[in-house]
Structure 1
């Protein structure tokens, strides 16, 4: 590139920026492309008496902007999937697997502990998932915004959703055992473990936002 038409200050800007690009690991071709794209702007401003440092900023900062920082990459990776059905399914699978595993273990060590039917476990898991997602949708996603839900409204929403969940759970007792088949302790443990492993990989694959752990950057 011909830099003869540049002023001493602008030539210095290019030299410093080039060294920064080299330190950032840019190839010769990448550096050439970046500078060739910037030169017309630098020359245009130079004719107006505006040095490159004034127009583009400090050369090291300007050059560094072409290389994503680790923090930028991390932020990109941490961008969570907030698709409603995925968040609900992720939470539901976790609760279902947890209830199946825990009830299976407890009924295995204690004959007095009740063994639930498969439909009861499904209601506990997927109904609980709906409650957790409802909490996120109506409360937690607004926690760090100006629309933050008040304490009394939060209590009311949580109370209503929990009552509905418990009501559904209670209604499963009315379902005949021929339909709501009681599962054995071992089957419940194995089923719970399989579901929890599946939920883990499902959450990882889509990088799903947690419905029960709101973050400050939730939109």
Structure 2
């Protein structure tokens, strides 16, 4: 198998040499600059040979109608970035809704807990009135708000003005709704149930939630959210 691979690569390299001789001076220079860029990026010789073989055939075909390498592939830097992009990242779509809710909930919960806790220290005790029920609601509702917003991110393939307007409208409504529920829960739920937590506890929860967000984002490979 190894011998076959070596023979195949040698055949590709030989074909590339012949194809390279058919290039125009401009395309020839483009390929040499690209080769330097990919070598600097530590792209393996086998992969470079395969990329060049496909490109050379396209370039020679394009030359017949006057097309240049830059017209076909963009600048050397641009195409280098395309080649370096992870295929996995390109193929990734959105994660399942529950993952985005988890990721968004942990982020929003962490932010709210930290802001509440820190404001208590800065404001001499004010801001520490958030209770445990409010905190739990904050994590849950925050997650669903992030899910809602992420699903309405402007789509490049649709009318940009309409997509942007819809995104702003839904984002604003979602955030206002989230803040309203938080405020109402703190005002209406009895403190005997919605047990108040100290500033230190809020800060500790915020730090733990933020650490959990980072962990689960990597562990579950969450993508498609906002952050």
TM-score class, shorter:
0.5 to 0.7
- Residue of structure 2 aligned with 1:179, choices 190, 193, 217: 193
Structure 2 contact 117–198 (Cα < 8 Å) conserved: yes
Change (3 A) 1:61 1:133: closer
- Asked if residue 31 in structure 1 is aligned to residue 45 in structure 2, the reply is no
Give a deviation string over 1:99-155, Cα, whole Å, max 9, x none: 212221221333242211122123233322222221111x20x42222654444334
**Higher helix share goes to which structure?**
2
User: SS in structure 1 opposite 2:135?
Assistant: helix
Q: 1:167 to 1:75 in 2, by over 3 A?
A: same
Maintained 8 Å contact 2:121/2:199: yes
Work out whether residues 117 and 127 of structure 2, in 8 Å CA contact, stay in contact via their aligned partners in 1.
no
- Give the 5 Å matches for 1:87-106: 87-106=100-119
Deviations 1:7-62 (A, max 9, x none): xxxxxxxxxxxxxxxxxxx9434234x58xx9xxxxxxxxxxxxxx7xxx959999
2-side partners of 1:61 and 1:186: how far apart? 54
| In 1: Cα distance, 2:191 partner to 2:210 partner | 26
Aligned to 2:174: 161
Sort the Cα spacing of 1:94 and 1:65 in 2 relative to 1 into closer, same or farther, 3 A: same
Deviation of 1:66 after TM superposition, in Å, equals: 11
Alpha carbons 2:94, 2:224 under 8 Å: kept:
no
| In structure 2, C-alpha distance between the alignment counterparts of 1:170 and 1:200, rounded to whole Å | 28
Give CA-to-partner distance per residue, 1:161-199, whole Å, 9 cap, x none. 234323322331211112111111212111211111111
Number of residues of Structure 1 aligned to a counterpart in Structure 2:
167
Q: Does 1:121 align with 2:135?
A: yes
Q: Which residue of 2 aligns with 1:76?
A: 88
Q: Secondary structure at the match of 2:86?
A: helix
Q: Say whether 1:204 aligns with 2:179.
A: no
Unaligned runs of 5+ in 1: 1-25, 39-52, 214-219
> What is the CA distance between 1:84 and its match in structure 2?
1.2
Secondary structure of 1:102's partner? helix
SS of structure 1 residue aligned to 2:192: coil
Q: Structure 2 CA distance, aligned partners of 1:154 and 1:85?
A: 21
C-alpha distance in structure 1 between counterparts of 2:48 and 2:178, whole Å: 56
Give the structure with higher Rg (CA). Answer: 1
TM-score by length of 1: 0.60
- Between the aligned partners of 2:225 and 2:176, the Cα distance in structure 1 is 19
The 1:133–1:58 alpha-carbon spacing in structure 2 relative to 1, beyond 3 Å, is: farther
Deviating runs (4+, > 4 A) in structure 1?
57-63
The alpha-carbon deviation at position 209 of structure 1 amounts to 2.1
